[in-house]
Chain A
Amino acid sequence: AQSVTQLGSHVSVSEGALVLLRCNYSSSVPPYLFWYVQYPNQGLQLLLKYTTGATLVKGINGFEAEFKKSETSFHLTKPSAHMSDAAEYFCAVSDNTDDYKLSFGAGTTVTVRA
């Protein structure tokens, strides 16, 4: 069974500063990893995903994440925060089977200070 731990339920950054959201996973098989973003009163939107191949994955809105197998991590970063990045972010993992079920982390709320 797979699981995800997101370190920090709340992150506050200044506009223009680096955004770093931490995600560690556990999986008995090579995982598929995802980051989703949820804006207030909306559904989750896929930011990026890692399946195989290049370990640095680029997503929408300037976000990227790096898969580090040795650290069982998939941290999300953005070099320069924008006010519109204020949202809740979820890391998710799916094991390497064909049922595509996702296990979500508890989420990290990002606030951006002007």
Chain B
Amino acid sequence: DARVTQTPRHKVTEMGQEVTMRCQPILGHNTVFWYRQTMMQGLELLAYFRNRAPLDDSGMPKDRFSAEMPDATLATLKIQPSEPRDSAVYFCASGEGLAQYFGPGTRLTVL
């Protein structure tokens, strides 16, 4: 049963620290999405890739967030420096075609 995996599942850090979240998409999927979920804003699309190339990162705060796909099995989302307002659950999803399959998320708390 192929699944999207994300690490870490939970992260608590202090303001100003760098945070790196990792995602392993389902093998063979050619699109990868990063979402952020908060109570106030709901689900927001941050960035997405197709065939490892970034297609749209307009949802990300450019000055502190960056997303990359070093290879087909790894996607990363970095925040540097982190701020308390970045506290949220970050989801990675992968897909091939219409359906997206979500990972379990990384719950980030920035103190």
Q: Which residues of A contact B (CB under 8 A)?
A: 32, 34, 36, 41-46, 49, 51, 90, 94, 99-102, 104-107
Contact = CB atoms under 8 A, between A and B. Distances in A.
Contacts of A104: 42-43
Interface string B87-99: 0000101010111
Nearest to B31: A100
Nearest to B95: A100
B102 A44 contact: yes
A107 to B, nearest CB: 6
Interface of B: 4, 31, 33, 42-43, 45, 48, 50, 55-56, 91, 93, 95, 97-105
Given A34-B98, A45-B102, A90-B43, 4 more contacts: A99-B50, A100-B31, A101-B56, A104-B43
A5 to B, nearest CB: 12
B99 A101 contact: no
B106 to A, nearest CB: 10
A90 B37 CA distance: 12
A43 B98 contact: no
A105 B97 CA distance: 21
Contacts of B100: 46, 100, 102
Nearest to B10: A41
| Interchain residue pairs A-B with the least CB separation, the first 7 | A43-B102, A44-B102, A104-B43, A43-B104, A106-B42, A43-B103, A46-B99
Given A49-B98, A100-B31, A42 B104 contact: yes
A19 B45 CA distance: 28
Given A43-B4, A51-B98, A102 B45 contact: yes
A101 B48 contact: yes
A46 B97 CA distance: 14
